[in-house]
Each structure stands twice: as structure tokens, then as C-alpha cells.
Structure 1
Amino acid sequence: MPARYNCFWKSPEFIAFAKRHADFQALGCELLGLSIDSNFSHIAWERNIKEHFGVEIGFPIIADLSMQVAKAYGMIQPGASDTSAVRATFVIDPQGVLRAMVYYPMSNGRSIDEFVRLVKALQTSDEHGLATPEGWQPGDKVIVPPPATAEQAEARMAEGYECSDWYFCKKEL
């Protein structure tokens, strides 16, 4: 039996990522799975998912048998089994810059909705030079960078930004 079958809790996440694959693609993102199992294990696992859950995994899964990539990204945790990588999600921008990394314990599943939200937030911040607050969703107000001068601070207050103080303002896009 392939090693992947011993990690039954990973299947729901891969199924959820597969179901949201088109949403990620619409945002200009590509999904890529990484596992320290073999290609043969991946093939058997993907067939099992299709057979039992009716879902095709439409993105590549890399077999990292040497664990070189897993180690480089900190997915092999100190004290963990040499044959078990933590579940992690990395958001890497088109320039190859690591923008976000999230590690989850083996016992808890990741929220795919949160990763879609995170990508949208990063894209909004990049496009507009603003920050997004906790829990931000598209259409919510964004945080404006602090003003560099007293004149800029006064102008913001006059322009109708929602300001708690001169240095912290929100606005609608």
C-alpha cells in the first residue's frame, strides 16, 4: 500500500484544493503539490481519490523523495519522523518571492477559503500600495500607509478617509 494512504487526513485538503483550482487560476495562481512520497504513490493516491470521491487532482504533485525541497522550505520539523513532512502552504509571487508561508500541524486541516482570501489581499495590496486589515474581504475598506508630512495628514482628514488618528486611516477602493 502506498505511503500516501497512511495519511488519510491529507485527502480532504487535496480534494478541496482541486475543487478550488479554477478559483486560484482565475487569480493568476497555479497550484503545485509537494510530497516526499514517490510518483507511483501519487498515481495510486490520485486514482483512489477519483474513484472514491469523484474528484480529479488537476495540478501537479512533485515527488520529493530526497526531501531536498521539503528541507529547504522547513517542512521537516525538528523531532518529527524523517518520513513525515508538515503540511505547509507557500504563496510565491510571479517574481519568485515568497510572500506568505503557513504551517499546520498534522492533526488540523487548512482552510482553502483563507488561502483564496490571502491571495486576493496580497494582489490588492500590491496593486494599490495599501494594506488589508484582519479578516479583509474584497470590497472591505483598506488601510492607507501613514502620511509622510503634516500636510498629507490634514489632506486625508479633509478627503473623508475614515481616520482613527492622523497615522491610521482606512478608505474604500
Structure 2
Amino acid sequence: MSLRLGDTAPDFVQESSEGEIKFHQWLGDQWGVLFSHPADFTPVCTTELGLTASLKDEFAKRNVKAIAVSVDPVDSHHRWIEDINETQNTRVNFPILADADRKVAELYDMIHPNANATLTVRSLFIIDPAKKVRLIITYPASTGRNFDEILRVIDSLQLTDNHKVATPGNWKSGDDVVIVPSLQDEAEIRERFPKGYKAVKPYLRLTPDPRKN
């Protein structure tokens, strides 16, 4: 069965480049980015994992842990990590799951036979501290992921979890946000958004990012 937004992210125990991972325990009370790559020693994946390593501080600021997965064994991951570090001028600082038995791939529906019957597709899941799936994106094997977009979505999710707002199209952190239509009490609106709002339409009310001073 396919995972859907709001589902509990399946728990699992699997070997990795950093030893055995008990997924929910490993996540703890943090957000998680779980992403699959088709295979070790492939060009697009090498750049993606190098980029993920370079963004460690950005993930840490958002209380996020990253973890990768493919169907390659642990020894392959260790050899490939050397290449990633060398070619991407970084140090891989997150675990890569060794899903040789495809346990994780099947739990997260990462094997798409019409794309490839044996390798994982390029999927990514954002998982919140309650272990709920908040984002699912699947890319074609030939297209590397935009990790600026992943960080943008995390910013949006964390903002909307703490304030009764949504983020408009092409929103970036710090831009104006939208007051959710379900919030109609003017006293609460004034309390939550002391800078006020602009009502373009009754259902479209823009207000400054409530995190800004």
C-alpha cells in the first residue's frame, strides 16, 4: 500500500553505513528527511549526497536529520562515501541505509516497476517529530533534487505548525504568509498578527511572516 500524507512513517530496523538503525528511535523528537537513490557510484546521486552533507548546518538549524537509502550493501556504501567526499569536497555526515533485502524500499513504495523493477526511485519523505509523513516527492532517475526546495518546504511546514498560516506560491522564508480561512475571530487574529493583514479577498488575507520582529 502506498504511503499518503498524514500517514505514520513506517518504522524499521535496517543496517546502514553507521551501523544498525532503529528508525523511529533514531529520529527521536526531530524532523527527518528520508530519501532514496537508485544506486551507489552513479553521477546524480553522488552530487545529491554531497549536497546533503554540505547542508548539515542548515538541517540542524531546523532540527532535521537526513538519512539516505538504496538497495546496495554496506560495503558498497563505504566505498562510495570515499568518492563522494573526494569529488564533492565534503564529508558524508549522515547514515545511508543498506536496503539489500528491499525492506525499507517496500515499506515506502520506492520500487516502481515501470521505472525500474530492481532499483529504488528518487523519492523523498519529510517526516515530522510525531512520525507523520508531511511531504512525498518522487523524481525521475535523471533529475537531481533541489534541496533548496526541501529546506523551503521544511520552513513552511514548521511555520504553519506554530502559527495559523499557510504559505503562498513561490513563498520563501521571510515573505508574507496567508492567514488560514478557518481563522475568523478578529480578536485572535489581532493577537496572533499584531502587524495586521491585507485582505485581498475575504479568503485571501496576507500578513507578514509572524516570526519576523
Give the TM-score range, shorter chain: 0.7 to 0.9
Structure 1 residues 119 and 37, CA, compared in 2 at 3 Å: closer, same or farther? same
1:82 aligns with 2:117: yes
| Amino acid in the other structure paired with 2:202 | W
Structure 1 residues 53 and 145, CA, compared in 2 at 3 Å: closer, same or farther? closer
How many residue pairs match? The answer is 166
The aligned runs of 1:4-19 (5 Å cut-off) are 4-5=40-41, 7-19=42-54
- Report the equivalent of 1:98: 133
Q: Is the 8 A contact 1:92 1:99 kept in 2?
A: yes
The aligned runs of 1:51-70 (5 Å cut-off) are 51-70=86-105
Q: Whose Rg is larger?
A: 1
Secondary structure of residue in 1 paired with 2:165: coil
Candidates 129, 146, 169, aligned match of 1:134: 169
Candidates 58, 64, 72, aligned match of 1:37: 72
Q: Which has the higher contact order (CA 8 A, sep 6+)?
A: 2
Q: Which structure has greater helix proportion? A: 1
Q: Deviations over 1:119-156 (max 9, x none)?
A: 1111111011211111111211111011566x74xx88
Q: Is the 8 A contact 2:49 2:84 kept in 1?
A: no
Give distance in 2, aligned partners of 1:52 and 1:141.
39
| Amino acid in the other structure paired with 2:207 | K
Structure 1 residues 25 and 147, CA, compared in 2 at 3 Å: closer, same or farther? closer
| Amino acid in the other structure paired with 1:22 | D
Q: Which structure has greater strand proportion? A: 2
Deviation at 1:83, TM superposition (A): 2.4
1:47 aligns with 2:76: no
Report the more deviating stretch, 71-80 or 111-120.
Answer: 71-80
Q: Is the 8 A contact 2:160 2:166 kept in 1?
A: yes
Give the share of equivalent positions with the same residue, in percent: 33
Give distance in 2, aligned partners of 1:115 and 1:148.
27
1:108 aligns with 2:130: no
* TM score, norm. by length of structure 1: 0.87
Give distance in 1, aligned partners of 2:95 and 2:183.
46
Secondary structure of residue in 2 paired with 1:46: helix
Deviation at 1:160, TM superposition (A): 4.6
* TM score, norm. by length of structure 2: 0.72
Give distance in 1, aligned partners of 2:142 and 2:183.
46
Give distance in 2, aligned partners of 1:160 and 1:8.
49
Unaligned 5+ segments in structure 1 are: none
Structure 1 residues 104 and 140, CA, compared in 2 at 3 Å: closer, same or farther? same
- Report the equivalent of 2:35: none
Report the more deviating stretch, 25-34 or 129-138.
Answer: 129-138
